[in-house]
Amino acid sequence: MARIIETNTDGFKSVDVDLVTVDIIENALRNARYEMDAVLFRTAMSPGIREQHDEFPLIADHKGRMVVGQFGSFIGGFLDNYAGDIEEGDVFLTSDPYSCDGAISHANDWLVLMPIFLDGRVVGWSAMFGHMTDVGGKVPGSLPTDAHSIHEEGVVIPPIKIYNKGQLNTELLDLILNQVRMKQWNRSDLNAIVAACRTAGRRVVELCQRFGTDIYISTLEALLDRNYRAMSQLIQNTISTEKLSFTDYIDDDGLGNGPYKIHCTMWREGDHVVLDFEGTDPQSIGPINFFLNVNMFKMFFGIYMIMVFDPQILWNDGFYPLVEVRIPNRSLLKPEYPAALSCRTHGLGRIFDVLGGLLGQRQPEFLCAAGFSSSPHLMYSGTDRNGEWFQLYQIGFGGIPGRPFGDGPDGHSLWPSFTNVPNEFLEAYFPLVIESYETVPDSGGAGFFRGGNGIDIAYRFLEPGTISIHDDRWLTYPWGVNGGEPGMRSTKYLIRSNGSKEILPSKCDNVDVNVNDVLHYVTWGGGGWGDPLIRDPELVALELKRGLITVAGARNYGVVLNQDFSLDEDATAELRSQLLKSRPGLEVFNRGGEIVDLKERCEAETGLIAPIDPVFT
C-alpha cells in the first residue's frame, strides 16, 4: 500500500456549507474538468487524442473518490497496489491494466495520476488517460487481432514516478519511448496529459484558497453524499428483489472462434443492488478479453440509471457503496495475466447493451435498443515516396439505438465527447482521399423511434501500406426492442485497383493495400424502438427524401410512396392493415435470430465463414 508523505498532519474539519457555495464549487470543478480537455486538445499531437478526443479526465477528493469525470475513480486501486512513497511534486504513469485492476484496459492507454498538495497535505487528486496511437508490439498501432498475450501488444508500463518531486525522469521516459514507433507523438501526448492534470491541480488549490480547505473538503463530502441519497432512492424505486438476467455476445475473437457470451444477473438486496456476471464465458485465447474494473462498471451502471430515470442528477463516486459487482475469475471480463487485451473495446461497448437489456426489463417503456456499442478502429501505415513513416489510427462511428424519447442519431460515437477526425485533416496529413462519407440508408432498425444509421467511409489509398481493422457486430445484430427491428450489421470490403472485391473479416492485421485500392468501412446501425407501423408516415416520407431510408425500407414501416416520394395515404393504410393482420405478436427483444440460425445463414449473408464455438479448458 502506498505511503503518502505529508508535512502537515492536521485533519480536515467537517463544517456546514451553504447551498450556494456547494453550487459554486461544483460548477467550478466541472469547468476545471473541461479545462483539462481544452489543455490536452491544444497541446497533443496524435489525431486520436487531438481530433477524436480519445481521453478521459477526472478530479477526485483527498481520498481518491471522483467528484467530476466520466469513468469513475481508479485512484483507490492505485493507492492499494502502489508500494512506494507519494510526495509533493510526484506524477505517476502506468499503462499496465493488471497493476490497476483494469482501471485502464489495454496497454495503449497511458494513465497519469497526480496528488494535489496544499500546505503540506493532499487535498485532492487529478488524473487522465489517453489512447496512444502506438506503443510498440507486433503490428503498427499496437492492437494485434491475433495476440495471445499482452506482451505481444507493446510496452507495458508498471506504476512509476515519471516526475519525482517535480523532476522529470528523462532516462526512464527515453527508455519507454524507445519501444514505440511514433516517439514524438507519444512524448507530446504525455506532456499534454501531465499539463492537463497540473491545470486541474491549480484550480483545486485556488478553490481551497478562496473558500478555505475545510469548506472545500466538506463541500465534496456533501456532493458525494447527495449522489448517494439520490441513487439510493433510484435503486429502491426501480430495482426489484427478483433476479433478472440478460445475455449478449462478442461475435469472434479474431482467431476464428465465437461468439463469446457476456451474461449478467441483477437484483436488489436491501438498499443495494447486486450485478453478477456468473455465466459469462471464460477468458479468450485471443485479445477480446476486457478487464472490467469494478468501480468503472459501477459508474457505467450509475450513469445509465441516472440518464434513463433522472437526468438531473450529476454523477460522482458517492453511490459506490450501494452497488456490488461480482465478476468470475478467469472470465472474459476478469482475465488472468498475461491474457491479451488489445481488442477489448467490443466487450467494453457490449457492457452498455447488457445494462440496457437488464434495466428495462421490468419497465419496457424505459428500454433502449442495442446500438453502436464499440469503438471500431482502422490503422493504416507505411513509408511514403519521400521515405517518411506515416501511421493513422482512427475510430469509426455508427448508429445510436432508438430510445424511449426519440430516434437514435446517425453516425455517432458510443462516447458522447468523441468527435470525428475531419476529412480535410486526414487528407492533409495522410496519403489517402476520402471518396465518400455518408450514412447507410435503412441500416438503422425500423421502429416507432428509428435506430440511427451506420456510416460508409470510402478510403482511397495513395501509397502502398498495410491496414488493420477492429470491429464487431458482423454476425449478431444490434437488437430492437418493443417491436422495433434490429439494425444492420457491419461489413468491411476492399475494391482493388483492378476492380475486384475482397470482403475482409471484422478483425484483421497486415492487410496489404496498394495505390488506388479503396476500403469501404461500413459500420452498424442501431436497433429500433417500438412498433414501426405506428410511426408518422409523413416523417417516413421526409426521411426518404433525406436519404436516410429507401423506398424498400419505407415498407418496413408500412408506408407506400408515390413516384415523387410523396405519401400515398390510401395505399399506406391498406399495407399497414395487411401487415398488422399477418405478423406475429411484437417481441420485447428482436435479435434477428438465435445464434445457431445466424451461424447457418452467416456465409450466405456476410460472405464470411461462421466462427466456430470456442473451446474452454
Do residues 243 and 222 share a domain? no
Considering only the C-alpha atoms of the chain, give the largest distance between any 2 of them, rounded to a whole number of Å: 82
Domain assignment present for 160: yes
Q: How would DSSP label each residue in 45-61?
A: -SHHHHTT--EEEEEE-
The rounded distance, in Å, linking the Cα atoms of 319 and 297 is 12
CB atoms within 10 A of CB 198: 18
The rounded distance, in Å, linking the Cα atoms of 135 and 542 is 47
Do residues 128 and 165 share a domain? yes
Do residues 335 and 214 share a domain? no
Q: What's residue 418's pLDDT?
A: 85
Q: What's residue 546's pLDDT?
A: 94
Domain assignment present for 540: no
Do residues 156 and 252 share a domain? no
Do residues 185 and 281 share a domain? no
Do residues 75 and 147 share a domain? yes
Give buried/exposed letters for 106-121 (b at 16+ CB in 10 A, else e).
bbbbbbbbbbbbbeeb
Q: What's residue 108's pLDDT?
A: 97
Q: What's residue 335's pLDDT?
A: 98
Give every CB contact of residue 51 below 8 A, 6+ residues apart in sequence.
419, 420, 421, 422, 425
Domain assignment present for 549: no
Tell me the angle at which helices 294-309 and 213-238 cross, rounded to the nearest 10 degrees.
70
The rounded distance, in Å, linking the Cα atoms of 154 and 178 is 11
H/E stretch holding 289 reads none
Domain assignment present for 195: yes
Q: What's residue 73's pLDDT?
A: 78
pLDDT tens digits for range 384-442: 999 999 999 999 999 999 999 899 999 998 777 788 889 999 999 999 999 999 999 99
Do residues 194 and 333 share a domain? no
The rounded distance, in Å, linking the Cα atoms of 56 and 37 is 8
> Among 207, 230, 253, which residue terminates a domain?
230
Tell me the angle at which helices 170-177 and 183-211 cross, rounded to the nearest 10 degrees.
140
Three-class SS of residue 465? strand
Give the chain's residues under pLDDT 50: none
Domain assignment present for 200: yes
Q: What's residue 74's pLDDT?
A: 81
The number of domains in the chain is 2
Q: How would DSSP label each residue in 199-260?
A: HHHHHHHHHHHHH-HHHHHHHHHHHHHHHHHHHHHHHHHH--SS-EEEEEEE---SSSB--E
| Residue type at position 519 | L
The rounded distance, in Å, linking the Cα atoms of 357 and 480 is 10
Do residues 471 and 414 share a domain? yes
CA 346, 349, 352, 353 dihedral sign is: negative
Domain assignment present for 564: no
Return the DSSP state at 491: E
Q: What's residue 21's pLDDT?
A: 97
Do residues 184 and 140 share a domain? yes
> Among 230, 254, 275, which residue terminates a domain?
230
The rounded distance, in Å, linking the Cα atoms of 487 and 400 is 10
Domain assignment present for 331: yes
Do residues 476 and 519 share a domain? yes
Do residues 90 and 132 share a domain? yes
Do residues 210 and 247 share a domain? no
Chain centre to alpha carbon of residue 252? 18
- Contact by Cβ (8 Å): 193, 128: yes
This prediction's pTM: 0.94
Domain assignment present for 15: yes
> Among 204, 230, 256, which residue terminates a domain?
230
Q: Which domain holds residue 417?
A: 239-292+327-531+586-606
Q: Residues, the chain, total? A: 617
